[in-house]
A = this chain, B = another copy of it.
Amino acid sequence: MTPRKIIIDTDPGQDDAIAIMLALAAPELDVLGVVSVAGNVSVQHTTTNACKVLELTGRTDIPVHAGCAAPLRRTPITAAHVHGQTGMDGPTLPDPILRPHTQHGVDFLIDTIRAHPPGSITVVTLGPMTNLAMALVKAPDIAQRMAGLVSMAGAWAQGGNITPSAEFNVYADPDAADIVLRHAIAHTLVPLDVTHRFLVTPARMAQLSALKGRCARAAAAMLGFSERFDLTKYGWDGAPLHDPCTIGWLLAPHLFAGREVNVSIEVDSPLMQGATAVDWWHVTDRPRNALFLNDVESDGLWALLLAHLERLP
């Protein structure tokens, strides 16, 4: 079977890095490029981090394109309190030799989607949706050319993580999420409802730490760093592992449950900025615009992740 062609739009971020590794380890996926965006940290850092991950995995053949340096119309926020100053604190990785491509990430998205037959490119967003929103405004024709879109974004029955009501990626650029959800795309949302069920417990951390390759070791170091914040905050058995769930869904959708619903973004209210109104019970006449996942078979997904990380150098 031909692998599915994907573009990863990301703000690494430790969990972004592990999501990228998971994708690179999967023969079912063909990563055409990585686009960076401001989010967890500045776009300079996320671009560098993307390059580091590709060098770590030995996949410097994949181009990195820097995307937007700030949300559409919001003051940038970051999550350095979670991810550390570089956004990918934990392992000591060398400064990358790989340089980002000169083409802007927004144009890479547009040109790549246009250059391939309709229905052949799937986009995965692991950070604020700024780049894809820009691409859709500039080139609305790409909406119907995309095979699909998978986003780590939103929350329904979990409240938020950056505010009481909003998940970080949507909160950071709600206008962008709103733009994307207004376009007709086969859009799968992987919200906190899923990722808060995919916890890196001490037992799982031990399994990961037992893996041999440099990629797995880096992954373990990353998670060792980033989980500190959530463990303190939530007092759970483990820290949620957000972004890899998106790739997990591409590889093993049978591990997930969800529902086709309308998801609308709160853009206007300061109190609720970035909250996702999820019409789970279909009580409105708003059109179904997303597959909203709300559960995951956690053990299965963890086994899948481990098996893939083990394949990497």
Contact = CB atoms under 8 A, between A and B. Distances in A.
Interface of A: 68-70, 72-73, 104, 106-107, 130, 133-134, 137-140, 156-159, 162-165, 175, 178-179, 182, 233-234, 262, 264, 266-272, 275, 277-281, 283-284
Contacts of A69: 140
A73 B182 contact: yes
A106 B138 contact: yes
8 contacts: A69-B140, A70-B140, A104-B139, A107-B107, A157-B159, A159-B278, A164-B283, A266-B271
Given A73-B178, A140-B70, A269-B268, A275 B165 contact: yes
A144 to B, nearest CB: 14
Given A140-B69, A272-B275, A156 B156 contact: no
A238 to B, nearest CB: 16
Nearest to A275: B272
A164 B72 contact: no
Nearest to A130: B137
B279 A164 contact: yes
A117 B281 CA distance: 46
Contacts of A140: 69-70
A152 to B, nearest CB: 19
Contacts of A284: 163-164
A271 B280 contact: no
A2 B7 CA distance: 47
A308 to B, nearest CB: 32
A177 to B, nearest CB: 10
Contacts of A178: 73
